[in-house]
Amino acid sequence: MKSSHILILFILSMLLSCFPAFPQGSPSLLQELVAAYQRFDYQETDRLIALALKEIESFSLKEKIGIYQYAAFRKFQQGDTFKAAEFFWKLLEIDPTHTLDPLTTSPKILALFQKTKLDFLEDLNRRVQQSQQRLIPRETPWRALVFPGWEQYHRGYRWKGAIWMTAGAGCLVGITRALIRTHRAKQDYEQATKPDDISAKYHRYNNLYQSQFYWSYALIGVWVTSQVDAFFFSPHKIPASLSVNVTSTSHLLRLTITL
């Protein structure tokens, strides 16, 4: 029984030895790359970089950043600044906040990285603005034409929309009541026979008749003001927006959530 177990283990070990090793996925590959670079063994560094780039998708994001960084270092040392900037760009696509150590990095490499980062953040800002423009509907606020506050409410301004809608509804209620009361006052006036009653009921009828116009003017004012507010002061809300502020000394990425 023991000899059979030993035989099985021997066969398994032989089978495993037949499979090629895959250092690309090994966590130690980046450490080997860094070590070779630090001891100025650039031939080994280039070999490990080529090996890593060939299977770049098998690495974690953190490892990819390290691989792209040292690949950029080597391309810069070889005089290929365009390729070096390309590797820096790929690095920044993973982590736009990445920085290089100013104490251990060559000033020329550091300058190229900073320039690439500025270009990347400006491009990112441009893409964000384009995305935001696509997110903002450019429709005509036709709901505000139908009823005050509806467009604002539809665009996410709940409180503002509710206020406009309440004002519009209040004016409509006022007009309706004025019409009903004016009609009744007119009947009372027409049915009056005594001079004193005729005069009093006429004044009441006249006041109610004029109130119809007051309520109508109020509704028109609410409607027009609601239109102006919908066109100029109630833009469509964007659920989430990303803004990039770029200066010569700092880079700031800001994510704004609008509720």
pLDDT bucket at 25, cuts 50 / 70 / 90:
very low
The neighbour count for residue 49, using CB atoms within 10 Å, is 23
> Both 172 and 218 in a single domain?
yes
For the domain that residue 78 is a member of, what is the CATH number?
1.25.40
Side chain identity at residue 183, one-letter code: H
Kindly state the average pLDDT of the residues 215-219.
Answer: 91
Kindly state the average pLDDT of the residues 192-200.
Answer: 82
On average, the pLDDT of the chain sits at 79
> Both 176 and 206 in a single domain?
yes
Q: Which residue in the block uniquely carries the two structure tokens 């609008």?
A: 258
Contact 110, 100 (CB under 8 A): yes
Q: Give dist(CA 244, CA 198) in Å, integer.
A: 75
Domain contains 163? yes
Domain contains 254? no
The answer to whether residue 57 scores a pLDDT higher than 60 is: yes
Domain contains 256? no
In the chain, % of residues over pLDDT 70: 76
Q: How many domains does the chain have?
A: 2
Kindly state the average pLDDT of the residues 210-231.
Answer: 88
> Both 67 and 109 in a single domain?
yes
> Both 112 and 183 in a single domain?
no
Q: Give dist(CA 12, CA 4) in Å, integer.
A: 12
pLDDT bucket at 68, cuts 50 / 70 / 90:
very high
Give whole-number Cα distances, 182 to 79, 191, 198, 200, in Å: 92, 14, 15, 14
In 3D space, the residue among 73, 115, 66, 109 whose CA is nearest the CA of residue 91 turns out to be 66
pLDDT bucket at 202, cuts 50 / 70 / 90:
confident
Q: How confident is the model over 77-133, as pLDDT tens digits?
A: 999 999 999 999 999 999 999 999 888 888 999 999 999 999 998 888 888 777 766
Q: Higher confidence at residue 87 or residue 202?
A: 87
The answer to whether residue 191 scores a pLDDT higher than 50 is: yes
> Both 158 and 127 in a single domain?
no
> Both 154 and 117 in a single domain?
no
Q: What residue numbers bound the domain in which 161 lies? A: 142-233
> Both 37 and 128 in a single domain?
yes
Domain contains 252? no
Domain contains 239? no
> Both 159 and 107 in a single domain?
no
Q: Give dist(CA 228, CA 217) in Å, integer.
A: 17
Least confident of 8-17, 69-78, 232-241: 8-17
Contact 257, 240 (CB under 8 A): yes
